[in-house]
Amino acid sequence: SDILREIENGNLEVNRVTCQRLISRYCQMGDIENATRILEHMRKKDMPINESVFNALISGHSVLK
C-alpha cells in the first residue's frame, strides 16, 4: 500500500508491530483491502502473524455489511 511505500522510501524499516498497527487501523475503518495488502506484505517478509492480527481481521470483516 502507499503507506508502506512511503515508509520504505524514507529509509525506515517496516517491522511486525508497524504492520500489526496498520492492519488494526485499516480494519477499524472497514478497509479490508488495505489490511489484506499489509497482511500479504507480512507474509512476503516472513513476519510472524499473531492473534492480534487475526482478531483485527475478524473485527474488520464483521464491520462490513
**pLDDT tens track for 3-52:** 777 877 887 788 999 999 999 999 999 899 999 999 999 999 999 999 99
Element holding 4 (H helix, E strand): helix 2-9
pLDDT score at 49:
93
Grid look-up 483491502 returns 33
pTM, two decimals, is: 0.82
